[in-house]
Copies of this chain bind each other. A is one copy, B any other.
Amino acid sequence: MTDEKNLDLKRQKHILKVLKFLQEGGDFTRASILVNKSKNMRIKSASIKGHPLNTLYAENDAIEDLINNQLLPDLKKWQQSGENSLLLNRIKDELVKLHKINRHYKRKENSLFSFLIKYNLITERTTSSLWELDDKIRETIKIAQEAVNSTPQDDKYVIEAKIEKAAHEVMQMIFVENTIFLPILGMLLTPEDWYTIKQDELEIGYTLINNPTSWMPTKSEIDASNWEHDQVQLTDEFKKEYNNFLKCYLSLDDEINGKADEIQVLNGAENYPVGESESSPDLLFEDLKDTVVKMEIGSLSLKEIPAIFNVLPIDLTFVDKYDRVKWFSNTDRVFPRTRSVIGRPVIRCHPPKSIDKVLKILDDFHNGYADSQDFWVNVHGRMIYMCFYAVRDNEDNYLGCLETVQDITNFKNIIGEKTLENQDKFKK
């Protein structure tokens, strides 16, 4: 047995201890021994600058620092002082900073959870339950912000209670991440997985830390990992205990969490690999870039097709007939999109509260009740137009759903005509 495998067994044992502690109602604020032991057992990657695991721990450290060394002390001072608007403004700023945890959570939801699926640790439905937990914390922070900004001002004790609740919930999540979630990822993921996550990071951004240095695995790291990875297995005991914990922690209902529900939601195709490198169940055709494909009218080479998608002024995402994200175009997107959602059920890429509405759209497409559905929103002063289209072949078989996202702000100001003939008067 290698040292690394030995260490992994110890890590699993420690995680099980943490799970037991939490299930027995242990208060994480009095669990510094567990936290420290977990810290001492971190895998090597966690200390490599730029490695996503290092980044995740660094963000949690920054949030902890914000809460313990700024927000809570300022709150205490404010509570004991009279009407101190200087302190109150500082607290407001600190809550704005705390709100930035949104990006850390988005990376979990749109990137990291995919790998718990990839390694069969949790079900797709559980990812939505985990997302719901994040949403609850987001909501608590929002409530604290509303309280601190209320006019007339809420009672001081009410404000204090709301801020403390937000701080407590964030800290509890950090405890769970640092002692359970991140150590599990550390054991399971390959250097290639982490590289996908690194690319996902750049789409979403970071919480309270500077942009980390670049990182990508070396060839030898990949080779070494391939060898090690085959040896590393989570023990059956670990998997069982972990799932018991989740069931209790997330108050999961056995009934609706069953396999049957999962399959119905997906309209088939149970075994569908996750992650770009795995792609889809069909034949894969990769290296003949000069190959020309006969299109309905004319033809395009396999080099031209992605290049055309990339210059289009519309961001495209394709969800296949199994309602799984199959492809998105590599444009500078209005809304960030992470590579690790490839292969995931599209409903699991939406906040849990939107799932029913997304399913309704897809069902109408599957059943032929609708062919498109549009939306528009304001994003930082830009008017963004989105549309979902049912994609069908010429025999009207449903192939999937295309999502388009387009910034139409400039179209609002277009007047008159600009043609080949009068174009010169538009030159700047």
Contact = CB atoms under 8 A, between A and B. Distances in A.
Contacts of A330: 296-297
B276 A283 contact: no
A292 B298 contact: no
Contacts of A299: 279-280, 284, 326-327
Given A293-B305, A391-B304, A298 B328 contact: yes
Nearest to A277: B294
A417 B306 contact: no
A412 B408 CA distance: 9
A419 interface: yes
Interface residues of A, number: 77
A282 B276 contact: no
Interface stretch (A150-158, A165-173, A370-378): A370-378
Give the interface centre of A298, A314, A402 by most chain B CB atoms within 10 Å.
Answer: A298
B375 A312 contact: no
A354 to B, nearest CB: 5
A339 interface: yes
Given A298-B325, A339-B297, A418-B375, A280 B292 contact: yes
B328 A297 contact: yes
Contacts of A79: none
Contact of A412 (B308, B358, B411): B411
Interface of A: 276, 279-280, 282-286, 288, 290-314, 316, 318, 320, 325-330, 339, 342, 354, 357-358, 372-378, 383, 385, 387, 389-393, 399-400, 402, 404, 408, 411-412, 414, 417-421, 423
Nearest to A358: B420
Contacts of A376: 414, 417-418
Nearest to A317: B298
Nearest to A378: B417
8 contacts: A282-B301, A285-B291, A285-B293, A299-B326, A312-B316, A312-B404, A314-B314, A412-B412
Nearest to A423: B375
Contacts of A399: 303-304, 307
Give the interface centre of A297, A308, A312, A383 by most chain B CB atoms within 10 Å.
Answer: A297
Nearest to A357: B420
Given A297-B330, A298-B325, A300-B327, 14 more contacts: A284-B294, A295-B327, A297-B342, A300-B326, A305-B305, A308-B391, A308-B402, A311-B390, A312-B312, A312-B314, A357-B423, A376-B414, A408-B414, A411-B411
A391 B297 contact: no
Given A342-B298, A414-B408, A400 B291 contact: no
A298 B276 contact: yes
Given A305-B305, A390-B311, A391-B311, A318 B300 contact: yes
A158 to B, nearest CB: 28
A292 B288 CA distance: 12
A389 to B, nearest CB: 4
Contacts of A387: 313
Nearest to A409: B411
A147 B421 CA distance: 25
A327 B303 contact: no
Contacts of A311: 372, 389-391, 402
A283 B291 contact: yes
B354 A420 contact: yes
